[in-house]
A = this chain, B = another copy of it.
Amino acid sequence: MRPVTPSPGRRETARVHEVRRLRDMIRTTIQRDGYPGGLLPHESELMAGHGMSRATVREALAMLRADGLIERTQGVGTHVVTATVTTGLAEAHGAVRPTADGLLDRRMRPRVLDRTRIPVPGTVAERLGVPPGTPCLRLEYIGLLDEEPLLVATNYALYPEAERLGDSPFTTDWYALMATAGADFGQSEFVIGSELADPLTAGMLGLRPGAPLLAMEQVIYDPDGRPFDVAFIYTRSDRMRFVSRAVVAARPPGA
C-alpha cells in the first residue's frame, strides 16, 4: 500500500488537504454555473467564506487555472472560461423527454465520420449475442454543440433496426434519428467510467492528449430484451456532466 499522505510535516499535509477540498468545492460551483456572470469572488471573500488562508486560496485557484477552468485578468478578477452543459442521465438513456437546458433537445448536431455496413466485430458480437460476422451498421459521429465537439460515439447496430438507420436523415441526436427510423426500444444500459484522451480522440474533440473523458458503453435492447446496439461514447467532461437522481430507500440498521 502506498502512503496516504505525502512526506511533509502534519501541518503542511493538513494545508494541502485544505487546498484540495477548496479546489473541489470551487470546481463543482463552476460546473453548475454557480458564479453570477462567471466571475469568481475576490480572494479575500473566498478566504472569509471558507475560513482558509490566502496561500490556500491562491493554490486552489492556481490548480483550477492549470486545468483551464478559470483565467485571471489584471484589474478585472478571476472568471470562468468553460461552459458546462448538464444533461439528465435519464435523458441520455432516452427514458424521458429532453429538457431545453440539456444536450438533447435538438441542440446537438452530428458530424458523421462513418456509416457503413460491416461484419460485426467479434467483441461486440459477443455483447450482442450474435455470431461474429453478422452484418451491422457502424455509425460513428462527433456530437457538436454550438459547432464545438462535445463527444464522439461509435455505434454498432444490428439489422433490421440498422436498415432504416442507414438512410434516415441524422440531423440532431441519436434518439431523434432512431425515432425517425421508426426503431422500437426496450432498455438502455450505460457502463460509466473515465479514460484519458488518446491523441486521435483528443484531436477529434479539440482537447490535449491526456485530458479526462467520461467513457460510456451503452447497450440498447429491443422491447423483447434482445440487444441490438452497442455504442462506445466518450464525452469532454470539461464541457458536459450528467446528473442522476433517485430516491434513497430506507435501509434497516445493520443491513
Interfacial chain B residues near A49, Cβ < 8 Å: 121-123, 125, 132
Q: Give the shortest distance, in Å, between A192 (CB) and chain B (any CB).
A: 5
| A119 CA / B29 CA spacing, docked (Å) | 18
| A188 CA / B248 CA spacing, docked (Å) | 6
Interfacial chain B residues near A184, Cβ < 8 Å: 250
- How big is the A interface, by class? 35 or more
A76 at the B interface (CB under 8 A): no
Q: Are B90 and A206 in contact (CB under 8 A)?
A: no
The A interface, classified by DSSP as helix, strand, loop or mixed, is: mixed
Residue of B nearest to A147 (CB): B1
Interfacial chain B residues near A226, Cβ < 8 Å: none
A165 at the B interface (CB under 8 A): no
Q: Are B193 and A31 in contact (CB under 8 A)?
A: yes
Q: Which positions 107-155 of chain A face chain B at CB distance < 8 Å?
A: 111, 113-114, 118-119, 121-127, 132, 142, 147-149, 154
| A187 CA / B176 CA spacing, docked (Å) | 30
Given A28-B232, A217-B28: A4 and B111 within 8 A (CB)? yes
Given A188-B245, A248-B93, A249-B97: A203 and B3 within 8 A (CB)? yes
Q: Which positions 152-201 of chain A face chain B at CB distance < 8 Å?
A: 154, 175-176, 178-180, 182, 184-196, 198-201
A100 at the B interface (CB under 8 A): no
| A186 CA / B252 CA spacing, docked (Å) | 15
Given A179-B254, A191-B86, A193-B31: A51 and B249 within 8 A (CB)? no
